[in-house]
Amino acid sequence: MKKTLRLKIFASFFLLIAMLAIAGTISVLEFRWLTNSVHGLIHDNYKSIEASKSMIEALEREDSGVLLLLLGEWEEGRNIIKSADKEFDKSFKIAKNNLTEKNEGQYIKSIEERYNRYKEQWKRPIVGTAKQGDMEWYRNDIHKLFLDTKEAVNDLMTINQKSMYKEASHLEEKSKRAIMPGIVAIIAALVFSVILNFFITRYFVRPISELTEAVNKVHEDQHILNINISSKDEIKDLEIAIKKLIQRLLRNSKHAK
């Protein structure tokens, strides 16, 4: 079966395109995985970290409200505590509904238990009771519960920060892997281009050059085309056509004489 030049050239460039297409597909899939991973990282760990920060801020505001109650500032102290408690509850629910890490539920349970014990202390009347102005009670009881609750929230935030750092390191490695197919494809394309150039020169350019040189060497007293192209394509057809042309010219020349 004769292989035409068109088929040879098409096959060569098809192979190059196929290599680039495969490398491009792998890179796209890798980057798509990276995009989904980054999306999960932002909406999971980061969400819990932000919720933890909000809980800590709410706790600190509650602590300030309790100190105001100890000073007899009932209205201002209760308003601050009420607002902070609402914010804490909102952030706690976000963290509770966003469990992504192993044993994260236990951290949530610990926060809930410690906060309820802490809340029981400032829910009771302080202004106008023996507790008002009692800094020893505040230091030994309520402030200790405040610190315990804050520690539990910090523990939750820490496991999510560690997970985020671990995931970020993993994503960095994956990003390098995502780039590799592109680099390999570029190197392979360069190598293949050199090889393709070699074959084009050997099987296309050189036979045409030899054929041209052979035609130029044909003289009136030499009616033989001294070349034999081994390929079975259009170049071989051209050689046969030129030989036939020389034979016709030879016959016409004899008839003219």
| pLDDT tens figures, 120-154 | 888 877 767 878 888 888 888 889 999 999 999 99
- For residues 77 and 63, the answer to whether their CB atoms sit within 8 Å is no
Average pLDDT over residues 58-75: 91
Model confidence at 35, in pLDDT bands (50, 70, 90)?
A: low
| pLDDT tens figures, 236-257 | 777 788 778 777 777 776 666 5
pLDDT at residue 95 in the model: 92
Containing 31, the helix (H) or strand (E) segment is helix 5-43
Q: Under CATH, which number does the domain 10-185 receive?
A: 1.20.120
The residue with greater pLDDT, 6 or 141, is 141
Model confidence at 87, in pLDDT bands (50, 70, 90)?
A: very high
Residues 6+ apart with CB under 8 A from 191: none
| Strand ranges for the chain from DSSP E | none
Residues 6+ apart with CB under 8 A from 49: 157, 160, 161, 164
Q: Residue 180: is its pLDDT beyond 80? A: no
* Sequence spans of domains, the chain: 10-185, 217-256
User: What percent of the chain has pLDDT above 70?
Assistant: 78
Which of these ranges, 11-15, 31-35, 83-87, 231-235, has the smallest mean pLDDT?
A: 31-35
Model confidence at 94, in pLDDT bands (50, 70, 90)?
A: very high
Instruction: Choose from 150-159, 169-178, 242-251 the range with maximum mean pLDDT.
Output: 150-159
